[in-house]
Amino acid sequence: MASLQKIANELDVSVSLVSKVLNNRLGTTKTRPDVANRIRETAHRLGYRRNASAVALKAGRQNAIAVVIKKHGRHGAGINEAVINGITDAMKGSGQRQSLSFYNQPEEFHELLPQLHSNSIDGLIIAGMRWLPILDDLMAVKQSGVPVVSVFNEPVSDSIPNVGIGDAKLIRLAMQHLIDQGRRCILHASSNKYREAGYFEAMERNGLPVEPEMVYYERGKRSYMPVTARILIERAQQVGIKFDAICCQSDTQAMGAISTLKELGLRVPEDVAVTGVDNSQWAMISDPGITSVSQQFQERGALAVKLLNQIIEGESVADTSLNPELFVRESSGG
């Protein structure tokens, strides 16, 4: 309830002086130390807190960014929580606030548009997996003058800086690890052409042959689930492929691989090495623990905040890409 006015009245000085002292903005005015101290003291005594709205109004800035994230079913992977953690950590203590929304269907994103304008927020961070369905809305937000930064694995549009990681890099990293461990016949299941490309690239570069049944491609949410690993393994066995590793595209898929292998009497990692993606709790709690590639969602969330603020400050920024990190556990025998 204490305003600059109250402090000014209390000490019989002007509001502007109080403002300048409390903000250390003493441009032309070199305030006397005793006056400054009395002002600071009184401010403290009255429990003065800068009124966020008044500052925002005067500055023409909201000191708030919107964060919109695609909901997804893969709860356990902790992806959204990681992004959110990164974002909130990066904003901690900045005084800047964020406003979080989730959407599932494109229409739900559309409904958020009224809130995503420059009179409510200074910028937008959009994160999630599939951006194509909301591209038009996203561009509309951008067009309306709101800076946008995305956290997708692959960039969205030339005009929206993305904090990516490169799906191909993810898989290449896991593949190279498996190959370094001496594995030669590696299976792969994926829902994503970039990831698949990473697989083929790694195999080719190391001169390893790939049979059609070594790869299973399935679009959609199901592709992350355990069942896809089972299909992949059974298909490979049917044609008699003697594989010694499976490069999965998620930790849950890797769990499916491990339990299928156990049922078949194959040991992990002695007979077959397994890797996952996400470095989630699944990977940690699984028995054996799953060697997994982190998509660095927390770091990417934090970086998105940094980039967005740079744009807000008027700098221009480009797409960035972080490097995935490999967390080695027992499943790969590392």
Q: How far is the CB of 16 from DNA (least distance, A)?
A: 3
Is 249 within 8 Å of 191 (Cβ atoms)?
yes
Residue 118 or 176: which CB sits closer to its own copies? 118
Task: Outline where the chain has alpha helix (H).
Answer: 4-11, 15-23, 33-45, 52-59, 79-91, 106-112, 135-143, 167-180, 193-205, 226-238, 251-263, 281-285, 297-312
Residue 280 or 332: which CB sits closer to its own copies? 280
Phi/psi of residue 258, nearest 5 degrees:
-60, -45
Question: Residue 143 burial by CB count (10 A; 0-12/13-18/19+): exposed, middle or buried?
Answer: exposed
Q: How far is the CB of 262 from its own copies (least distance, A)?
A: 10
Residues that bind DNA (CB under 7 A): 1, 3-5, 12-17, 19-20, 22-23, 25, 27-32, 35-36, 48-51, 54-55, 57-60, 119
- Interacting residues with its own copies between 314 and 333 (CB under 8 A): none
Is 291 within 8 Å of 177 (Cβ atoms)?
yes
- β-bridge mates for residue 103, sequence order: 70
- Interacting residues with its own copies between 96 and 155 (CB under 8 A): 97-102, 111, 114-115, 117-120, 144-145
Query: Of 223, 228, 252, 332, which one interacts with its own copies (CB under 8 A)?
Result: 252
Q: How far is the CB of 50 from DNA (least distance, A)?
A: 5
Q: Which stretch binds its own copies (CB under 8 A): 6-14, 78-86, 127-135, 194-202?
A: 78-86
Is 290 within 8 Å of 264 (Cβ atoms)?
no
71 near its own copies (CB under 8 A) = yes
- Measured from the Cβ of residue 21, the count of other Cβ atoms closer than 10 Å reads 22
Binding site for its own copies (CB under 8 A): 1, 47, 49-54, 56-57, 62, 64, 71, 74-76, 78, 80-81, 84-85, 88-89, 92-93, 95, 97-102, 111, 114-115, 117-120, 144-145, 225-226, 252, 255, 259, 280-282, 285, 287
